[in-house]
């Protein structure tokens, strides 16, 4: 009797919490530090997400003029060109040319101890395509990058 009751309770808890996991699939958090590193090399979202909410946390201590970080999303094939163009955009534009259609999403540049949140749509992006996220602060993109995967 106790065993059946325990299994039923476990099943009920699994069902109750399944909505929490699904709701959080569209919200991501990534951390950056003073060592020019993101804390993960892969971010995944469900193709069912209408919008993605990304939280960027800079857990270092250096100011944004010295060791600023942002988060930029492009197709993998566009990453280098967007990063190079970002250097010309300069600090006033957070090292991103947001008028470039290759830029899918981009955050502001933040310094140590700061955080920022951005929301963007993945509608129209194909789950089979290859996407990259990176920091476009000058000199960072070659090291600070990762794969952004849209799960079908």
Tens of pLDDT, residue by residue over 123-134, are: 999 999 999 999
Taking the C-alpha atoms of residue 133 and residue 30, their distance in angstroms, rounded to an integer, is 11
Q: Which of 151, 116, 135 is nearest to 72 (CA)?
A: 135
Q: Would 21 be classed as within a structural domain?
A: no
HSE-CB at 131 with a 13 A cutoff on CA atoms is 23
What pTM does this model have? 0.84
The least confident of 13-17, 78-82, 99-103 is 13-17
Taking the C-alpha atoms of residue 42 and residue 14, their distance in angstroms, rounded to an integer, is 27
Q: Would 10 be classed as within a structural domain?
A: no
Confidence class for position 25, pLDDT limits 50, 70, 90: confident
Average pLDDT over residues 78-103: 98
Q: What is the pLDDT of residue 104?
A: 99
Q: Is the pLDDT of residue 137 over 90?
A: yes
Confidence class for position 24, pLDDT limits 50, 70, 90: low
Quote the number of domains for the chain. Answer: 1
Q: Is the pLDDT of residue 22 over 80?
A: no
Cβ neighbours of residue 71 closer than 8 Å, sequence gap 6 or more: 30, 54, 56, 105, 106, 107, 118, 133, 134, 135
Q: Would 19 be classed as within a structural domain?
A: no
Taking the C-alpha atoms of residue 4 and residue 2, their distance in angstroms, rounded to an integer, is 6
Whole domain around residue 87: which residue ranges? 26-151
Specify the CATH number for the domain of residue 124.
Answer: 2.60.40.420
């Amino acid at each position: 009797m106790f065993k059946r009751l325990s299994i039923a309770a476990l099943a009920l808890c699994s069902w109750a919490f399944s909505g929490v996991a699904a709701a959080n699939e569209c919200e991501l958090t990534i951390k950056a530090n003073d060592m020019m590193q993101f804390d993960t090399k892969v971010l995944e979202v469900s193709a069912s997400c209408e919008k993605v909410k990304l939280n960027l946390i800079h857990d270092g201590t250096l100011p944004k003029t010295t060791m600023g970080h942002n988060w930029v999303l492009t197709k993998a094939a566009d990453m280098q060109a967007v990063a190079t163009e970002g250097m010309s955009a300069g600090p006033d534009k957070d090292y991103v040319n947001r008028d470039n259609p290759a830029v899918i999403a981009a955050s502001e540049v933040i310094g140590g101890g700061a955080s920022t949140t951005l929301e963007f749509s993945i509608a129209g992006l194909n789950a089979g395509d290859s996407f990259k996220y990176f920091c476009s602060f000058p000199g960072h993109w070659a090291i600070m990058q990762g794969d952004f995967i849209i799960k079908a």
